[in-house]
C-alpha cells in the first residue's frame, strides 16, 4: 500500500531519535515528534498550543547570529545549517540545544525540518557566561545614566548662557559635545531595551492600530525632515489594514530603518507596503546606496556590529538594527536584509495583520 505524504512524515518523525519539528515557509510550527515534546517538557494540554507558533517565539539564540541564520537558510532555500539555541520549556526552564536544519523531498515536495540534539555541559557554561555578561552590561549601563544626564544638563546650561557669554568657538564645541552626549544617552537607552527584550522584562502596551497612521508617524520623524533624499511610499493594501502592536516601539523600529536608509542612500529611498496571503503585511525599505557586502550582511543584526568596509568612521552605535530585530520578534514578525555591493539595500519587515 502506498503511503500519502502525511503518513510518510509522521512515520519519519516517530522514527527520529532527535527532537524534530516541521516548519512552513513563514517559520511556523506544523508538527513535531514526541522526543521534541519531551525535550521541552510539554504536557498533553500544551502540545496543541504549539501548532502555528512562530519559530522566533520558540528559539532564543545564544550565539547572536543563530536565529537569523535559520531565517536566512529558510528564505534562500539553502540545503542545511546548524548552530546553538536556548529553548524555554513549559516549566520556564532555559534549556540549551544544538539545532540543525534539514530539507527532505517527500512525495515530490520539499519539507523543512529543524532538529534539536541534547545539550552539553560546556555549552551550558558558555550560555551562563553570556547571560552574566548581559547582566553586567545592564548594570553598568544603569550606573552610567546618572552622570551622563548630569553632564548633559550642565552642557545645556552653558549653551543657554547660564555661566556667562561664550565665544563663538566655545559655542561650537559645546554644541558638538551636547550632540555626542545625546548620542551616548540614546545608545544607553537602546542597550537597556535590548536587554529587557531578551530577558522578557520589556513592558509593551499592545493595541490594534491602522497601519497607515503608524507609517505616517514614522515618516514624520524629525531626523528625516529636510534631510537626505526624498522618500517615496507605495502602499498596496486596503486602507483599513490594522496590526496589533505597541505604537511607540513599532514607530521607533520603522523610524530607525528609515533613518538608516536615508543615511546611506545616494538619491532615493522607497517604502513598499504589501499584503500577502491575507495574513501578513510586508514593509520593504529600499535605498540606492553602495550596498552591503556578504560578510557584513551576516552580522547586521548582531549587537554593536558596525561595518568598516569603507575604512571611514560613521556615527553609528551598532545597536539600532539589533533592537529593531528584537522589536519585530516581540510583535511576532521578523526582519531580513537583501543587498549586494553597488546595488542598494532592502530591509523587509514581515508582521501579522489583524483580521477584520
Same domain, 269 and 323: yes
Same domain, 35 and 113: yes
CATH code at 9?
A: 3.30.450.20
Residue 268 DSSP one-character state: -
Pull the grid cell for residue 13: 518523525
Q: Which of 198, 226, 251 is the last residue of a domain?
A: 198
CA dist 151 and 183 (Å) reads 13
CA dist 26 and 192 (Å) reads 29
Same domain, 190 and 275: no
Same domain, 53 and 115: yes
90: helix, coil or strand? Answer: coil
pTM: 0.59
Same domain, 242 and 343: yes
Q: How far is CA 264 from the centre of its chain?
A: 20
Same domain, 283 and 325: yes
pLDDT at position 226 = 65
Domain count, the chain: 3
Kindly give the confidence (pLDDT) of every residue in the chain, 356 residues in length, as a single tens digit, with 9 standing for 90 and above.
Answer: 445 667 777 777 777 777 888 877 777 788 888 888 877 776 655 555 666 676 666 665 555 444 555 555 555 555 556 666 666 555 555 666 777 777 777 766 777 777 777 655 545 555 566 566 667 767 777 777 778 888 888 888 888 888 888 888 888 888 888 888 888 888 888 888 888 887 778 889 999 999 999 999 988 876 776 677 888 888 888 888 889 999 999 999 999 999 888 888 888 899 999 988 778 899 999 999 888 887 777 777 776 655 554 433 344 456 788 889 899 989 988 888 888 888 889 999 998 888 75
* Positive/negative CA dihedral, 284, 229, 317, 255: negative
Same domain, 244 and 146: no
Same domain, 77 and 159: no
Same domain, 188 and 242: no
Q: Which of 164, 198, 232 is the last residue of a domain?
A: 198
Q: How far is CA 129 from the centre of its chain?
A: 23
pLDDT at position 307 = 58
Q: Which of 101, 119, 137 is the last residue of a domain?
A: 119
Same domain, 233 and 323: yes
Phi, psi at 101, each rounded to 5°? -100, 130
Range of the domain at 94: 5-119
For the chain, the distance separating the N- and C-terminal CA atoms, rounded to the nearest angstrom, is 45
- Ranges assigned E (strand) in the chain: 19-23, 29-32, 59-61, 81-88, 94-106, 109-117, 206-210, 231-236, 242-246, 269-276, 280-287, 334-339, 345-352
Sheet holding 280-287, edge to edge: 231-236, 269-276, 280-287, 345-352, 334-339
Same domain, 214 and 244: yes
356: helix, coil or strand? Answer: coil
85, β-bridge pairs: 61, 97
pLDDT at position 310 = 47
Same domain, 216 and 343: yes
CA dist 114 and 20 (Å) reads 6
Phi, psi at 132, each rounded to 5°? -65, -40
Amino acid at each position: 500500500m502506498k503511503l500519502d505524504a502525511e503518513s510518510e512524515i509522521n512515520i519519519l518523525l516517530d522514527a527520529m531519535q532527535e527532537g524534530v519539528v516541521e516548519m512552513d515557509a513563514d517559520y511556523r510550527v506544523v508538527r513535531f515528534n514526541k522526543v521534541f515534546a519531551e525535550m521541552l517538557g510539554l504536557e498533553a494540554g500544551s502540545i496543541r498550543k504549539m501548532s502555528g507558533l512562530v519559530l522566533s517565539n520558540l528559539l532564543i539564540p545564544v550565539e547572536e547570529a543563530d536565529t537569523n541564520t535559520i531565517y536566512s537558510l529558510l528564505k534562500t532555500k539553502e540545503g542545511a545549517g546548524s548552530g546553538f539555541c536556548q529553548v524555554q520549556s513549559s516549566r520556564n526552564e532555559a534549556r540549551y540545544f544544538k539545532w540543525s536544519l534539514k530539507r527532505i523531498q517527500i512525495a515530490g515536495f520539499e519539507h523543512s525540518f529543524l532538529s534539536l540534539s541534547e545539550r552539553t555541559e560546556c555549552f551550558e557554561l558558555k550560555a551562563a557566561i553570556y547571560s552574566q555578561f548581559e547582566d553586567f552590561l545592564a548594570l553598568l549601563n544603569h550606573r552610567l545614566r546618572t552622570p551622563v544626564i548630569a553632564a548633559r544638563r550642565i552642557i545645556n546650561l552653558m549653551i543657554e548662557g547660564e555661566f556667562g557669554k561664550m565665544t563663538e568657538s566655545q559655542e561650537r564645541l559645546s554644541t558638538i559635545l551636547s550632540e555626542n552626549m545625546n548620542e551616548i544617552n540614546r545608545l544607553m537607552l537602546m542597550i537597556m531595551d535590548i536587554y529587557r527584550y531578551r530577558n522578557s522584562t520589556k513592558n509593551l502596551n499592545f493595541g490594534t492600530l491602522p497601519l497607515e497612521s503608524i507609517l505616517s508617524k514614522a515618516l514624520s520623524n524629525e531626523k528625516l525632515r529636510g534631510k537626505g533624499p526624498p522618500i517615496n511610499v507605495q502602499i498596496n493594501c486596503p486602507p483599513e489594514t490594522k496590526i496589533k502592536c505597541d505604537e511607540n516601539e513599532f514607530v521607533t523600529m520603522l523610524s530607525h530603518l528609515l533613518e538608516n536608509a536615508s543615511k546611506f542612500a545616494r538619491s532615493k529611498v522607497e517604502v513598499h507596503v504589501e499584503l500577502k496571503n491575507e495574513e501578513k503585511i510586508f514593509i520593504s525599505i529600499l535605498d540606492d546606496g553602495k550596498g552591503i557586502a556578504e560578510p557584513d550582511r551576516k552580522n547586521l543584526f548582531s549587537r554593536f556590529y558596525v561595518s568598516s568596509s569603507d575604512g571611514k568612521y560613521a556615527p553609528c552605535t551598532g545597536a539600532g538594527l539589533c533592537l529593531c530585530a528584537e522589536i519585530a520578534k516581540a510583535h511576532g514578525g521578523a526582519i531580513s536584509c537583501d543587498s549586494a555591493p553597488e546595488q542598494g539595500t532592502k530591509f523587509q519587515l514581515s508582521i501579522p495583520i489583524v483580521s477584520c
